[in-house]
Amino acid sequence: MRILRRTLLQLPLAGMVLGATAPRHRDVFSKPGRFGGWPANHGMWAWGDELLVGFEAGWFKANSKEGREHSIDYSKPAEHVLARSLDGGETWSLEKPAALIAPEGMLVAGVPVEPGGKFTTPGFALTARMTSIHVGPSRFLVTGDKGKNWQGPFIIPDFGTPGIAARTDYIVDGPQSLTMFLTAAKANKKEGRVICVGTVDGGKNFSLVGNVGPEPAAEDFAIMPSSLRLGPKTLLSTIRHRKFIAAWRSEDNGANWTQLSQPVDDTGGGNPPALVRLKDGRMVLTYGFRNKPYSIRARVSKDEGRTWGPDIMLRDDGGAWDLGYTRTVQRKDGKLVTVYYYNTNAGAERFIGATIWEA
């Protein structure tokens, strides 16, 4: 009976598979009374086994409503901070670069003559920040030394849209060339739709390349992309909708797009994707599921996003819907590190967690 019980406990839920080995969970930021949130907005980067992730550190305030309101105390200041790991996500230390704090009374600053160096610098990273989820303005900062020092903030243009709500999603194409995916406000000034933009002069100027799909219907949105370059002119972008995640492909470097699939038909209430290409060519998409069982999940594609395998359950011990916003990188030994914000009790703090796992 003991053997049978252990076997049953190891069986996945219907339509799900388990990873090759049991995922291991680590705390990135967890403090009583605090709210750690939204790594997907800020970005995650890897240089071998040196990992860096950004997130917001605020204060916890329980939301008594079952409605979709975050349990964060907006009457208290929140910080934009970083966490760094030097051992592939096993342990983490907190960093608070002064440059990530917007100047008092100013959310953006002008773009200087010379932005922050070459995009191909070994320690390069870019983070994009927004002021509002609807009409912006937005800004970006860059680093050439793995996030120890940052230059900016630099203005992100609105590209003729009602406004830009920028999160971090970009592809380095060359020393001065970069493709960025942004969420623009819809014509009604509500969120949102995804656009593809680019720079060829190191970030001094950006131009609109194309819209990723049509403007969503009034009751829907298309926001928070996570994108990859598959070839010299081929791009893949996965996008959060109100209830599902869609995948779009471009064969002309972002000017025109065709929808491939819906990698996830139901995110349990809306959550952004995090897309990463493995060393063996497969693609992994991670996301938070905001319904019972509240969880962090993954799916794998072997054909460049055309079809996707069943859910892989990374953890399902969530206490409330207020979780997710994953970012994922692959470390040197091939294991994946997925970072997210999470809770195991609806009435307790929101923490930043990391799961180390194999696809």
* Structure confidence by residue, pLDDT tens digits, 277-315: 999 999 999 999 999 999 999 999 999 999 999 999 999
Distance CA 53, CA 200 (A): 26
Q: Is residue 1 part of a domain?
A: no
When pLDDT is averaged across residues 175-195 and rounded to a whole number, the result is 95
pLDDT at 214 over 80: yes
Assign 63 a pLDDT band (cuts: 50, 70, 90).
confident
CATH number for the domain harbouring residue 105: 2.120.10.10
Assign 2 a pLDDT band (cuts: 50, 70, 90).
very low
Assign 1 a pLDDT band (cuts: 50, 70, 90).
very low
Q: Is residue 217 part of a domain?
A: yes
Per-residue burial over 291-319, b if 16 or more Cβ lie within 10 Å, else e, is eeebbbbbbbbeebbeebeebbbbbeebe
Assign 117 a pLDDT band (cuts: 50, 70, 90).
low
Q: Is residue 13 part of a domain?
A: no
In angstroms, the Cα distances linking 72 to 58, 129, 173, 330, 347 are 7, 19, 38, 31, 11
The total of structural domains in the chain comes to 1
- The confidence score (pLDDT) of residue 179 equals 98
Looking at per-residue pLDDT, the higher value among 99 and 181 belongs to 181
- The confidence score (pLDDT) of residue 297 equals 98
Q: Is residue 11 part of a domain?
A: no
- The confidence score (pLDDT) of residue 7 equals 31
- Global pTM reads 0.92
User: Which residue range is the domain that position 235 belongs to?
Assistant: 26-357
Q: Is residue 339 part of a domain?
A: yes
Q: Is residue 8 part of a domain?
A: no
Q: Is residue 15 part of a domain?
A: no
Per-residue burial over 48-87, b if 16 or more Cβ lie within 10 Å, else e, is ebbbbbbbbbbbbbebeeeeeebbbbeeeebebbbbbbee
Q: Is residue 294 part of a domain?
A: yes
